[in-house]
Amino acid sequence: MQFRKICVIGLGYIGLPTASTFATHGIQVVGVDTNPNVISTIQNGGIHISEPGLRILVHDAINSGNLTLSETPETADAYIISVPTPFFEDDQGIYNGKSYRLADMRAVKSATESIVPHLKRGNLVVLESTSPPRTTIDLVRPILEKSALKAGSDFYLAYSPERVMPGQIIRELTENARVIGGIDKPSAEAGRDLYAYFVKGEIILTDATMAEMIKLMENTSRDINIAIANEFSRLAQRFGVDIWEAIKIANHHPRVKILNPGPGVGGHCISVDPWFFVEAAPDLTEIISTARHVNDSQPHFVFELIKTTLGNDLKGKHIAALGLAFKPDVDDLRESPAIEVVKLLTQAGAIVRSYEPYKTDAVIPGISIFPSIEEAIADADLLVLLVGHREFIELNPIKLCELTPARLAVDAVGGWEIYSWTKAGFRLIRLGVGDNLSL
Ligand code: SAJ
CA of 365 to the centre of ligand 1 (A): 26
Phi, psi of 374 (to 5 degrees): -60, -45
Angle between helix 273-280 and 208-239 (nearest 10): 110
What tens digit of pLDDT does each residue of 21-78 get? 999 999 999 999 999 999 999 999 899 988 899 999 999 999 999 999 999 999 999 9
Q: Which atom of ligand 1 is nearest to the CA of 221?
A: 31
Q: How far is the CA of 341 from the centre of ligand 1 (A)?
A: 19
Per-residue pLDDT tens, the chain, 439 aa: give them: 999 999 999 999 999 999 999 999 999 999 999 999 999 999 998 999 888 999 999 999 999 999 999 999 999 999 999 999 999 988 899 999 999 999 999 999 999 999 999 999 999 999 999 999 999 999 999 999 999 999 999 999 999 999 999 889 999 999 999 999 999 999 999 999 999 999 999 999 999 999 999 999 999 999 999 999 999 999 999 999 999 999 999 999 999 999 999 999 999 899 999 999 999 999 999 999 999 999 999 999 999 999 999 999 999 999 999 999 999 998 899 999 999 999 999 999 999 999 999 999 999 999 999 999 999 999 999 999 999 999 999 999 999 999 999 999 999 999 999 999 999 999 999 999 987 444 4
pLDDT tens-digit map of 190-213 = 999 999 999 999 999 999 999 999
Q: Which of 269, 54, 266, 9 is nearest to 171 (CA)?
A: 54
CATH classification for the domain delimited by 243-438, as one of 3.40.50.720, 3.40.1190.20, 3.40.50.2000, 3.30.70.360: 3.40.50.720
Confirm if 158 and 181 have CB atoms less than 8 A apart.
yes
- The tens digit of pLDDT for each residue in 264-288 reads 999 989 999 999 999 999 999 999 9
Report the pLDDT value the prediction gives residue 436, as an integer from 0 to 100: 47
| Per-residue confidence (pLDDT) for residue 434, from 0 to 100 | 83
> Can you tell me which atom of ligand 1 is nearest the CA of 326?
15
Please identify every residue annotated as catalytic.
215, 269
**Residues in Cβ contact with 281 at an 8 Å cutoff, skipping those fewer than 6 apart:** none
The binding-site residues of ligand 1, defined as CB within 6 angstroms of any ligand atom, are: 130, 162-166, 218-219, 222, 226, 259-260, 262, 265-267, 269-270, 326-327
Model confidence pLDDT, tens digit, residues 170-188: 999 999 999 999 999 999 9
Cα 368 to chain center, whole Å? Answer: 23
Report CA-CA distances (Å) from 296 to 247, 326, 358.
21, 13, 24
For 17, counting Cβ atoms within 10 Å of its Cβ (0-12 exposed, 13-18 middle, 19+ buried), the class is: buried
**Ligand 1, closest atom to CA 164?**
35
Ligand 1: nearest atom to the Cα of 330:
24
**Measured in angstroms, how far is the CA atom of residue 231 from the centroid of ligand 1?**
17
The residues spanned by each domain of the chain are: 5-207, 243-438
Distance, in Å, from the CA atom of 130 to the CA atom of 219, rounded to the nearest integer, reads 10
Question: How much distance in Å is there from the Cα of 313 to the middle of ligand 1?
Answer: 34
Mutate to test the pocket of ligand 1, among 87, 219, 225 (most ligand atoms within 8 A of CB): 219
- For a mutational test of ligand 1's pocket, the pick from 129, 222, 386, i.e. the residue with the most ligand atoms closer than 8 A to its C-beta, is 222
CATH class, range 5-207: alpha beta
Topology match between the domains 5-207 and 243-438: yes
pLDDT for 439 equals 44
- State the maximum Cα–Cα separation within the chain, in Å, rounded to a whole number: 73
CA distances from 210 to 151, 201, 213 (A): 18, 19, 5
Give 262's Cβ-side CA count (13 Å radius). 24
Handedness of CA 363, 364, 370, 372 (dihedral sign): negative
For residues 89 and 225, what is the distance between their CA atoms, to the nearest angstrom? 25
